[in-house]
Chains A and B, each alone.
Chain A
């Protein structure tokens, strides 16, 4: 099963290497990863998506906790959370396709962030399914390039979640 795991770490050089090294060294896989500073500049937050059965996920969480620089590990799958990714998609356009492209963008609540005679660069955010869907729709029209972020996530403020 896929798990999104949020890891709070000391914002120090080498911490990402420790986390990445742990995953590669122990044969865990990372499907995507996003790292950023939090409100406290001494703390960074990593959001990573990994896959495994319960025993493996338990081991991954314990191993992360064992790293000296790791402050807190939260398996977001234990409760409700909001997760978002962003993609920048450079789509080929010509006069015949322009309106179709614009209507797709509209449906997905995306934005055109750069225009040139032959390309639109589109910004879209959402969960993975949404990003995948818009990419599928653009494919037949011609995608020149894609850049995607990893997932970032926050827990929902409901009462019954456990860490």
Chain B
């Protein structure tokens, strides 16, 4: 059967079981939109292409499936760049399909032409320009395979208009033969044995788990592994939810805004077991003093992550779920006994009791109080998205994440404006679940236009604005490291967020006093509509502990 490129595109998406596309139409993709008119795939019309990518990203993080976006050429495509870079840094599987001017016009500075393949080369896992309709089906198949296999990541497929209009015989390949791309899933057996021997010898081990645990769906295996061997677990921001936050073995997050005891435990451990993590600078601080006495085991699917920043003693390349399964098999086969590690746990408990995560209540609402209240009322049974900055760090510190895929946050790139569209994506995937975006008054304004999207599709996303009338994290750094010179970080005017919500057809609520917090959260969460809950919070509140950039992580500034 002969099909047009645009039809092949939609046919391929159906074969890949795509249920939803986040997109925005324009000249170069009109042929796709024309066929989409009759297709069964749901399309969410966003209000800005950046939000389409973040929404697809939120959808992917919440479900584990590949997120899909569709945008037009030129500005449509360039608007996706921040979203793509966000997904790339956090290894999120998504595909951006961008329109392109007809092949004959490429390179001619045609109307709405941009070399998006060139622009996105460094921030995609891979990208394609489809030059011939005959390649289209294979390219789409490869794009999906590349996006979700190995270390996942975003893929961009650029579709010139003429390719979408030409016809060819449609054949969707069953299998792919890619000679140059074969990710390693199984960990090396000998390395695994060596790792288990080290773990047996260790008296003060710590597991440092990252986002790889979540993307590999390895939470269950990690929990068993930690329990059977009795090893405390700290997670990165990306790893939150990968290990139950309420488990006694959980030390919380480590790094720049990590818990005192997690940073102390890592600094004093004799064995660090890194699982699906990449020794990011926000985690390690000063590399020379990071886990100085520890041997390091590193399990990761990406060989480039190993020994990139820190010399690793026992690298194990592979899917962390597969590796942990092999470790567990070894534990039961060799009848490895659980070590008591009483001294080590006593020491950790000592750190835990001396410097708790805390804040001082005052006459104004404390942002941490809002986050704790949301946890208390939802019992953690919700999906939380965050923006970037103080709102993000307080969420990481004061919300307990027990399950994977319940925190959507831009960890690597640190993209303000990510949270709200990501929450929209998650809500599209799970219409019945509670999805909350915890935002600041700065970041929410970076994609506030998506209120129209949320209202149009009746998505009951809850936006919590912790309004401190400033760019809180910037202000905090200026307070601590720039002599309190608050250059361009204070907002003197804001829209009335309650009225703004109402103008879009959403619901707006506001709390200004600590005693109003609970009522507003309860009312907001029980309203089956898009809701903005604005909390006027203490503007001088800081995120503590904080490790100054580049300092050793045990040198924290504490509250």
Contact = CB atoms under 8 A, between A and B. Distances in A.
B422 to A, nearest CB: 26
A interface, size bucket? 20 to 34
Interface stretch (A58-66, A106-114, A145-153): A58-66
Contacts of A63: 304
Q: Main SS of the interface on chain A?
A: helix
Interface in A49-70: 55, 58-59, 62-63, 65-66, 68-70
A18 B306 CA distance: 22
A21 interface: yes
Interface string A54-98: 010011001101101111000000000000000000000000000
A68 B121 contact: no
Contacts of B302: 66
Given A62-B304, A63-B304, A25 B122 contact: yes
Interface string B102-145: 00000000000000011001100110010000000000000000
A111 B126 CA distance: 45
Contact of B181 (A13, A62, A68): A68
Contacts of B306: 62
B126 A21 contact: no
Interface in B169-199: 178-181
A21 B180 contact: no
Interface residues on B, range: 10 to 19
Contact of B304 (A55, A59, A71): A59
B180 A55 contact: no
7 smallest beta-carbon distances between A and B, as pairs: A68-B126, A62-B304, A71-B180, A62-B303, A25-B122, A68-B181, A21-B121
28 contacts: A9-B180, A14-B117, A14-B118, A14-B121, A14-B129, A17-B118, A21-B121, A22-B122, A25-B122, A55-B307, A55-B311, A58-B307, A59-B304, A59-B307, A59-B308, A62-B304, A62-B306, A65-B303, A66-B302, A66-B303, A66-B304, A68-B125, A68-B146, A68-B180, A69-B126, A70-B180, A71-B179, A71-B180
Interface of A: 9-10, 13-14, 17-18, 21-22, 25, 55, 58-59, 62-63, 65-66, 68-71
Given A22-B122, A58-B307, A66-B304, 13 more contacts: A9-B180, A13-B129, A17-B121, A18-B121, A21-B121, A25-B122, A59-B304, A59-B308, A65-B303, A68-B146, A68-B181, A71-B179, A71-B180
